Structures are given as C-alpha cells and as structure tokens.
Amino acid sequence: MIKNEREYKVTKAAAARFRDSLAAHRAADHTGRDPVSVQAEASAIQAQLEDLEAAVADYDRLASGGIEALEVNRVEDLPKLLIQARIASGLTHEKLAERLGVKPQQIQRWEEDDYQTASFWRLIEVAEALGLSFSITASLPQPSAPSIPVAVDKLKGVGIDKGFLTSRLVPPADGPAGGAERSTHECAQLFASRVEAIFGKPFQDLVAMNDDDPWWGRAVANARYKLGATAKEKPVAFYSAYAHFLASALCRTMRGPVDRDLPLDWRAMRTLLFRDGRPDLATAVRRTWELGIPVLPLCDKGAFHGACWRIDWRGAVVLKQPMQTASRWLFDLVHELHHLAEAGPCQEFAAIEAEGTSDGRRLADEELRAHAFAADVLLNGKADVLYGLVSREAKGRIAWVKGAVQKIAAAEGVGVGLLANHVAFRLCQETGENWWGAAKNLQADDAPPYDTVRQILLQAVDLNAVEEPAGGLLRQAVAPLVVPGRAGADRVH
C-alpha cells in the first residue's frame, strides 16, 4: 500500500523501469534459450509491473477525492483504513497532526508501522480527527470445530507433505510456554485460523474444495510467488505462501527504518556486512538484521532453498539450504541481498530459488549476477581470478580440483569452503560437472548454520510477544531440532 506522495513517486518510477524491462525482454533475441524459462521471466516481470500499477491505481483512486465509503472485513485492517481515509480526505501528515496536537513525524511513524505502536484509544482519536463514522457487523464463531485429521488429509491430497502440516501448522496440545493445555476444540480452531491467515480464505471453504478447483490455480499463480499452477508446483506455492506469511510477521516486528539503498557494488556490500573483518555467517546475519532486514531460517524438506521478498517496502530473507554448511548459507544470504539490491526500493518484490529449478532458470542472467556478486563479496573481488588459478592448477583433471582448491585458498588467504562452493558453481555452469559433494567435504566443521541463524532471530525478536496465529507458527517453524547420532546438536533433516 502506498502511504504518501514520496512512495507514490518512487512506485511510479519503479513501474516505469519494469515497463521498460518488459519491453526490452520482449524485443530481445532469446534464440537458444529454454522457451519455458523465457516465458517465466516475462511473466515475473509482468506480475511485478501489475503489482506496481495496481498500487499506483489504488492511490490515484483514493487521492481523487471521490470516495464516499471504505470497507474492511477484519479488525486488524483498521489501521489500513485510517491511512486510506487520510489520503481520500486530502489531508497531509501535517494537517492531521495539527488536528491531533502531535508532530507530523509522529503520524509518519504510526503509518510506517501500520499503527502497531498506537493504542486502541489513539486509533479512535485518529478516526474522529478524520471525521469517520462506522457501521460494524460482528459474525459470531460457528460452534462446531473443524476436524484436523480431515483437513490434513484434504491438504495432503493437493500435494502438501503431511509431516509438514502436522509439525508446522497443527498447534501442539501443550500450548505456549507457561500456558494451559489446549483442548481438541481449541487446537482445531487455532489450526483453522492459521490456514485462513496464510491463504486469506475461510477454512471450511478450503477443505471443501476439490484439488482441481480454479481457486488453487489462482492461489498458486498469485503474483507474490511467481510460480505456475501445475500439480508439481502446488506444494511449492503452498510452502511459499507459508514462508511469506512468516516473513511478513517478522517484518511487522521491525521498528527501525526500512532499508532503502542496498549497494550493488561488491566492495560496498562487503564493508557493509563485515566492515574490515573476514566473512562469516553470524556476522553477516546480525548485520542484515541491523539493516532492518529479518532473516528467517527454515529446515523443512523440499519446496525451495532460498527466497527474498519486499513486503510493504521492507526486505526479508528466508534461508533454507539443505546443505548444512555455514559457507553455503553465507553464499545464499549475500545472493538474496543482491536480488533485493537489484529490485531497489519498491513496495512488493519476490525471488524464490525453487528446488529442481530448470537450467534455464538457474543460469538466468539475474541468477548469474547474484552468484558472481556473492562470490566477489566473499572472496574479496577475486572470484574469477581464483577460479582461473584453480583451473590451471588442476590441469583439467576433476580429481585434482580438490587439492587445487585447498592450495589456492591457502596461498590467497581465502576460506577454503567459500572457494570450494564458488568452484562447484562454476564447474556446474560451464561443464555440467556436479562437484558439490566434493565441495561439501572441504567445509569447516562449524555449528549447523540453521542453529546460528535461529539463535540470532531469537535474540532479535521475542516470539512469545508475537500474536497468534503468526506467533505460534513462527515458534514451530524455528523450533530446536536434533540430528540423530550427533550429541548436543540442535536440528534435524
């Protein structure tokens, strides 16, 4: 949602850039490329453009002054209505502040976080200052609780993993820390509210649908996720919706300014993340949080191994790499930050690194740029040079690459794990050789990266203070897990 003239101008400029990008993509010569990949890229650009144009149109409609009434269906949408009413009334922050007897900066802060820090009585004062009148209808809950087993089987029928549903969406009976044990009815109601919150559709309607219902296609093709609507992609879209909901909840906990200008220069990004120190995952994750970008670790199988969004202007990153090595997660983090930097300031943006991605997508220009950027950030601008040195040392023999990586990393003063990951990517890109197994054997025996990122999240956000259903979903998403056979470990595949 565009909230002021400055955001309006930025969004219009972003729409113009996407319009130009789409025209350039359509005019480009794509001979020799995967047609599916080419179409997917065009669809992604088109979807982003439609998002931006819709936001501009909504603001124009409000600012035109012809609105007589506004409607919301949920109490939590009241702050959005207040912002819309101010715009529709033609009031600036200064004029509304004058009516309330506060400073304009206070209005800006309230609107920036959707009045999360304002009391209920303050919301009433704002509504009165805007001259609003309300007609409220409250729907009472239905007495019958939905059946969790039936709902789980229904969602499983459209390809959603049953283990994921029971471990991540079904609430535990023992309730939150210090809370009373939940009844079966309470668990069922909470499960329903979670699914409704993720998809924005009544729970009973969801479980009553057939798996070929057109709604599933619309949900899967939602512009946030930029995925297709095939049966194979439905689980990815479902999980993406889940991850997006969690990322949105974390974004709402952030109180600092929204990141505006992430650097596209590798030197600037390296300095921003590590200052003058050596690259390491914990430092980069903490610095990303300090920049106002939450980093969410997930460890469920399948779907995707990384994602980033801009959600109402704020960036968010999800790390879900199955290879449990710190250097690989560090590569993925910087990779996603590059996507956010390239997107620039915009209200909505999405990039999802889906598992099983086609070569056309994996080797798309933006993915190659993101990897090259991450490699230079982590290898101090010497990624291409180091790969060349390894290639010469190995003399074209794949069996010699491991020793070459170790030798060059030691000689050039870079992390052997980081260099191994870069070499594995380049070999896959240039020759199709899968060297990731050997690269994994060159990684340091660090703490599992899931644990590292999880602990930093728990230090940054009090998840017990996050309201349901988001709070419970987040607590289950980042619950401590145990690796079988690894004493003291804290996660599992």
The distance in angstroms from the start CA to the end CA of the chain is 38
Average pLDDT, rounded, for the chain: 83
Closest to 128 (Cα-Cα) out of 85, 88, 94: 85
Burial class for 339, CB neighbours closer than 10 Å (0-12, 13-18, 19+): buried
Given this model, what pLDDT does residue 362 score?
A: 52
Q: Which tens digit of pLDDT belongs to each residue from 236-274?
A: 777 888 899 999 999 999 987 777 689 999 999 999 999
More confident residue, 127 or 323: 127
Mean pLDDT over 171-184 rounds to: 68
Mean pLDDT over 337-344 rounds to: 92
Given this model, what pLDDT does residue 192 score?
A: 85
Residue that has been written with the tokens 């998809």 in this structure: 199
Binned at pLDDT 50, 70 and 90, residue 220 comes out as very low
pTM of the model: 0.68
Check pLDDT > 50 for residue 230.
no
More confident residue, 149 or 332: 332
Mean pLDDT over 169-188 rounds to: 73
Closest to 127 (Cα-Cα) out of 85, 89, 69: 85
Output the CA–CA distances (angstroms, integers) from residue 484 to 12, 163, 324, 445, 492, in the order listed: 52, 17, 14, 17, 7
Which is it for strands 314-319 and 348-354: parallel, antiparallel or unpaired? unpaired
Burial class for 441, CB neighbours closer than 10 Å (0-12, 13-18, 19+): exposed
Q: Which tens digit of pLDDT belongs to each residue from 359-408?
A: 445 557 888 899 999 999 999 999 999 999 999 999 989 999 999 999 99
Check pLDDT > 70 for residue 216.
no
Q: Which tens digit of pLDDT belongs to each residue from 70-93?
A: 988 888 889 999 999 999 999 999
Given this model, what pLDDT does residue 145 score?
A: 52
Check pLDDT > 60 for residue 356.
no
CA separation for the pair 106, 104 (Å, rounded): 5
Identify the helix (H) or strand (E) that includes residue 105. Answer: helix 104-112
Q: Cis ω on the peptide bond leading into residue 297 (within 30° of 0)?
A: no
